[in-house]
Amino acid sequence: MKVAVLGAGAIGAYVGAALHRAGADVHLIARGPHLAAMRRHGVQVLSPRGDFTSLAHATDDPSDIGPVDYVFLGLKANSYAACGPLVQPLLGQHTAVIAAQNGIPWWYFHRYGGPHEGRRIESVDPGGAVSAVLPPERAIGCVVYAATELAGPGVVRHLEGTRFSIGEPDRTVSRRCTGFSEAMEAGGLRCPVEGDLRDDIWIKLLGNISFNPLSALTRATMRQMCVHRDTRQVIEVMMNETLQVAAALGSRPAITVEKRLAGAERVGEHKTSTLQDLEKGKPLELDVLLAAVVELAGVTDVPVPTLRTVHAIADLLGRSMSAAA
């Protein structure tokens, strides 16, 4: 099995290191000091489950790699439309693209069935720019439940969780999914193939759609948002509105708002990825988390006043940051 990890940051390098440990032919695509460190010393993984080092090939030039069986996308979703020159050399006739993204994916309505079959979500796939680069028929969905961080160039600290749920847009259990799942599990990760990954997407989105934008607006940690009474109430409303949109689209994620909040509070004084991006002056990845659900609420005629309000404020923050950059 030949795998390219495009965007070998904290999650991508962790997955690549695990697959390499299992014997896959892995190629990590990165840049800067992180790439230089991986070239010199490999990927060093620090984990409560045991430290290890992977000496997978690392490069900044995908043309050095050529077509692969799988491209694992570790990029932020707001980078997908511009990744064409990087991903194109990696695509063969049967290459699958596994997108480890948060939020609503560009392929959501591909092979969906029903009245929304093939619908393009403008906030996720503006003008079809993402689909042009990453054709939906190549997509395998992926919901990441693992938490990692870069402790330094070439060094990944695994914090918790090993689950990477995957699934086909058409809800079949395909050979390309089971093959990737087996390789991930051989490398020490959990990788269940779900019958309908969309339910998992909504479960994770419940947290991302509320905690991520609110953390950017308040600069608060997960626990701080959970224990502040009024903010917790706003989060509850946002989650319930999100569940109503999911239900209107036929999804019934098997989780309650109370359970999702309890899990978030246990995370403790953790900063969301959106807050970390804000502090680093990076673009905020809110279109797939928040704007997409507001758009889908319009499609399904579900009233989401709180989601719309938070989106308006967070969108202004993101635009102000972009203008100042």
Q: Do 190 and 142 fall within a single domain?
A: yes
- The DSSP secondary-structure symbol of 291 reads I
- The CA-CA-CA angle for residues 173, 98, 49, to 5°, reads 90
Tell me what the mean pLDDT of segment 156-185 comes to.
Answer: 96
Q: Which of 195, 226, 255 is the last residue of a domain?
A: 195
Q: What domain range includes position 261? A: 198-324
Mean confidence (pLDDT) of the chain: 95
Whether pTM > 0.85 for this model: the answer is yes
- CATH at 244: 1.10.1040.10
Hey, what are 117's tokens?
């079959």
- The CA-CA-CA angle for residues 122, 124, 125, to 5°, reads 65
CA 16, CA 109: separation in Å to the nearest integer? 29
Asked whether residue 194 carries a pLDDT value surpassing 90, the answer given is yes
Q: Do 149 and 273 fall within a single domain?
A: no
Give the model confidence (pLDDT) of 290-299 as tens digits.
999 999 999 9
Q: Do 213 and 64 fall within a single domain?
A: no
Q: Do 104 and 248 fall within a single domain?
A: no
Q: CA distances (Å), 160 to each of 12, 68, 140, 272, in order?
A: 15, 29, 24, 15
Q: Do 24 and 136 fall within a single domain?
A: yes
Query: Could you tell me if 63 and 89 are in contact, meaning their C-beta atoms sit under 8 angstroms apart?
Result: yes
**CB-based contacts of 258: which residues, under 8 Å, 6+ apart?**
none
Determine the 3-state secondary structure of 96 from DSSP. strand
pLDDT, position 293? 97
Residue 204 a catalytic site member: yes
In terms of DSSP bridges, do strands 52-54 and 43-46 run parallel, antiparallel, or are they unpaired?
antiparallel
Asked whether residue 325 carries a pLDDT value surpassing 80, the answer given is no
Give the model confidence (pLDDT) of 302-321 as tens digits.
999 999 999 999 999 989 88
CA 129, CA 168: separation in Å to the nearest integer? 21
Q: Do 73 and 161 fall within a single domain?
A: yes
Q: CA distances (Å), 46 to each of 7, 110, 135, in order?
A: 19, 38, 35
Q: Do 243 and 315 fall within a single domain?
A: yes
- CATH at 121: 3.40.50.720
Q: CA distances (Å), 83 to each of 9, 76, 77, 248, 273, in order?
A: 15, 10, 10, 33, 21
Q: Do 240 and 279 fall within a single domain?
A: yes
Q: Do 19 and 111 fall within a single domain?
A: yes
In terms of DSSP bridges, do strands 164-167 and 139-144 run parallel, antiparallel, or are they unpaired?
antiparallel
pLDDT, position 52? 97
Q: Which of 155, 176, 195 is the last residue of a domain?
A: 195
Give the model confidence (pLDDT) of 38-86 as tens digits.
999 999 999 999 999 999 999 999 999 999 999 999 999 999 999 999 9
Percent of the chain whose pLDDT exceeds 90: 88
Asked whether residue 123 carries a pLDDT value surpassing 90, the answer given is yes
Q: Do 75 and 96 fall within a single domain?
A: yes
Q: Do 169 and 233 fall within a single domain?
A: no
Asked whether residue 323 carries a pLDDT value surpassing 90, the answer given is no
Tell me what the mean pLDDT of segment 266-283 comes to.
Answer: 89
Select which of 204, 271, 280, 282 is catalytic: 204
Q: Do 209 and 253 fall within a single domain?
A: yes
Tell me what the mean pLDDT of segment 154-172 comes to.
Answer: 96
pLDDT, position 175? 98
**By C-alpha distance, which of 14, 5, 323 is closest to 159?**
14
| Domain count across the chain | 2
Q: Which of 133, 162, 195 is the last residue of a domain?
A: 195
